[in-house]
Structures are given as C-alpha cells and as structure tokens.
Amino acid sequence: MTIEAIAQRARKAAWELAALDTETKNRALRAVRAALERSRVEISRANAADKRDAEILVDSGQLSKALAKRLDIEGGKFDGILSGVDDVIRLADPVGQVGYAMRLDHGLDLYRVSCPIGVLGVIFEARPDAAVQISTLALKSANAVILKGGREAERSNRALVEAIQRGIAEVPGVPPGAVQLISTREEVREMLALDEWIDLIIPRGSNELVRSIKDSTRIPVLGHADGICAVYIDRAADAERAAAVVVDSKAQYPAVCNATETLLVHREALSRVLPELGRRLREAGVELRADADSLPHLPGAIPSTEEDYGTEFLDLILAVKTVGSVEEAIDHINRHGSHHTDAIVTEDAKVAELFLSRVDSASVFHNASTRFADGFRYGLGAEVGVSTNKTHARGPVGLDGLVIYKYRLYGHGQCVAQYAPGKRKFLHERIEAATPPSPQAPNEISPSRP
C-alpha cells in the first residue's frame, strides 16, 4: 500500500471511530489485550531477534548499550505492557464531554462536545512498548493512528501491531484501519507531506528527531525539542529547601527533559545558600559551571561560558548564574530557557506569584523540583507527551490532548432570518445538564426504521 492509501484508510477509519461509544472502544481494548496475551510467544520471538541484532550493533559500536537495553519487552516488561492496557481501559472516555452548553432560544440548544482529532502520525524510537501505549490511547480517544517505530525494534513492533490488529478485528464496528504501521524513513517523509489526511504528528524520542520533524512538515506537531529547565533561588529562599529542590531537579535523573540545566541565584543569597548546596551537588557527582560572582562560593566549580546557559546537558552538569533580582531571573529564563519547566525557591509568596505569572513556560513551580513535570505525577493518568507548543496542549499532555470539539446544535427548523434586527432575540441561557440529547451515536441504524 502507498503511504497515501494508508493515510486515506486511516482517515476513513477515523470517521468510523468517531461514532463509537465508550463500551465498544473498551471492548476493543480488552480484545487487544487478549490478543497480545495470546501472541506472547510470537512477540517474544520477534523481540529476541531484534535484541540479537542489537547486540551485534552494540559490539561494533553502532548502537549504545542504553538504547539496546530499552528494546527488551520480555518477561516482566511484557506483563507491564498488559497492565498498561488495563490502565487505559480504566481511564475516563475523553470523547463526548460537554465543555459549553447554551440555550440559544427555546428549542435551539447548542453543545460543544469533545471529539477525536482524527488521524495521528506517531513516530517513536527504540522502546517497542510505545507501540502498544500509543495504539491503546488512540483507540480510547477514537483517533486512527499511523505508527512508525525505531528500526532496531522493527520485528518487535510488527509483532505487537499485528496482535493489536487481530484484537481490533474481533470487535464489530471497529475499523481495521484504526492502527497501522509503516517502517521506513522514506515512508515517514511521505507521511509528513500528507497534511490533507493527517491531523497531528506526535514525535516521541530524541531532540534531534523532534526538531527534524518540526522542520519538515506543515501538520501540527505535538512535542518539545529542548528541555532547558531552570531553578531560581530567590533572596528570600530557605537554604534547606533550595538545596533539596536543586539536587533533585538536577541529579535525580539527569537524562530527561524535566531535569534542570541552569541554576539562577539572587546575589544576596550567594553566601548563605551556595556553600551547602554546592557540597551536596558535588556529593551527587554534579559538575558545576559558575559565573564570576558565584564561583567563589562553589569550591571545585569551573568558570561557565555564555553557551552553558543555552545548553541542554542531559547529564550531571549544572550552569550557575548570579542575578540581581527576580525580574532578572524571569528575563533570563524567558530568553534562554525552552519554556518547559522552571521553578522558584522562595519564602516570599508575592515574589513567587510574580515568577509564576511572568515566566512563560508550560510548568512553573514554587518550592518544588522541576522533575515533577510529568503526566503521571500530575494525575493525568497517561502521558501522550510533553508539549512546549503555545496552542492546543501545553506541558505534560494526557488523553485530553488527543481530542478537540465540535459544536452540535439541536433545533426545530429555526432560521437566522427569524432573529434579524427588530425580530426575535436570542435567549443565551447556560444549560446546566452536562449531556446533549444523546451524546454518542448508535453504531448502526436499525433496519426496521420506516
């Protein structure tokens, strides 16, 4: 099948998915889970083959050990995949939620109801379990999805998606084009050009992947390229809290996007906060790169360069900079950060509010580690990705990020001409009941209808 045919098949599937009720979608998810369980041996065999080839690449230095390790989906990992499907079944249906309901006039009711976006193109690296997570989240939100996994996991991905497709095929009404897999970079390139058929691209992987995708498509992209997060220690910071928050933000798991890369310190807090904080960071193995004013307070630190303040280290390295005011800290973050997650440590609630209002980032924290920026920790149930976009969805994105809405108007033959100046007036009265007459369509029309 050509990519265009795949995309059109997805589009057709999306139109059918949009009319499914919650129970049918959950039945499909249970069938997917059962099919994965039944295909365990086959999936394991495919995964073993991928891992064998990856080991050869590791030995020859063409693949990192860390990436090769992430290929594994056998044993406990496989049980985790199955229980992940259970989690998605338990999530509330994001479709059919009424966000706005207005009686325009007697017998003329308007409902803004959440509905799927349509067709998602999801490009992910290494981890084959992402194929299951994404497919099940798409199914729950009634979106069709075209998946492209990492080359190293090609056989695992194929085995997983074939099992998913067998599960879907068992449930009447769920279209077979709901989940499809493509496999080459050339196919991805073609997919990114199909803005007529595909509504949203979600890249999950390295900064390079995200950036290259953002640069080569007109389809909206949900994601983030960089994660240059900062912690600002205010002059009214509690020294113990500052140390705890900074060490966790930097060192608890430095390889991820919500780890902190820049530490800003108010000049008046340097001597009070930095010596103990510096000691604990050194203990955690963090290399400190400090500006001229903070350097004397950080034994063992090396001088920073301007470039350090715009670098996502993803490693145990922290750039330290002195600022004269909270305004200077805000300005630094807005100009040099990546609008992902930034925190202030202060006991002054007014300063905190200024920081939280003016820092233009998806997540802004008062006295908490930047590492909390995460869909699970936020209680969203599942994370589709983290977005630094300024429209649609921002920050950790849950299932809500995979829906949009449509306006449904229920009338009795009304015409706009009836409401011309001097004639009828609109009522515009909020409707309290949260559901339209029938929020979800029947899956089929009864043949006995006259």
Region 66-105 residues binding a copy of itself, contact defined as CB under 8 A? 102, 104
DSSP assignment, residue 221? B
Interactions with a copy of itself, residue window 49-68 (CB under 8 A)? none
Interactions with a copy of itself, residue window 292-331 (CB under 8 A)? 326, 330
Please state the closest distance from residue 304 (CB atom) to a copy of itself, in A. 24
- Cα–Cα dist 201/212, whole Å: 12
Please state the closest distance from residue 35 (CB atom) to a copy of itself, in A. 27
Long-range contact list for 242-247, CB < 8 A, 24+ apart? 242/269, 242/273, 242/277, 242/345, 243/273, 243/276, 243/277, 243/280, 244/369, 245/343, 245/345, 245/367, 245/368, 245/369, 246/277, 246/281, 246/318, 246/345, 247/277, 247/280, 247/281, 247/284
Selected from 5, 433, 434, 441, the binder of a copy of itself by CB under 8 A is 441
Please state the closest distance from residue 334 (CB atom) to a copy of itself, in A. 6
Interactions with a copy of itself, residue window 13-42 (CB under 8 A)? 14-16, 18-19
Contact 93, 140 (CB under 8 A): yes
The H or E element that residue 108 is part of is strand 108-116
Taking CB under 8 A as the binding criterion, the range among 37-45, 163-171, 225-233, 374-382 that sits at the site for a copy of itself is 374-382
Compose the 234-253 pattern: x for residues touching a copy of itself by CB under 8 A, - for all others. --x-x-xx--xx-xx---xx
- Would you call 259 exposed, middle or buried from its count of C-beta atoms within 10 A (0-12, 13-18, 19+)? buried
Selected from 64, 377, 433, 434, the binder of a copy of itself by CB under 8 A is 377
Please state the closest distance from residue 253 (CB atom) to a copy of itself, in A. 8
In 10 A of CB 29, how many CB atoms? 25
Compose the 194-213 pattern: x for residues touching a copy of itself by CB under 8 A, - for all others. -----xx-------------
Please state the closest distance from residue 63 (CB atom) to a copy of itself, in A. 28
Please say which residue, 12 or 151, places its beta carbon nearer to a copy of itself.
Answer: 12
Interactions with a copy of itself, residue window 337-356 (CB under 8 A)? 345, 348-351, 353-354, 356
Binding residues with a copy of itself: total (CB under 8 A): 90
SS3 114: strand
SS3 277: helix
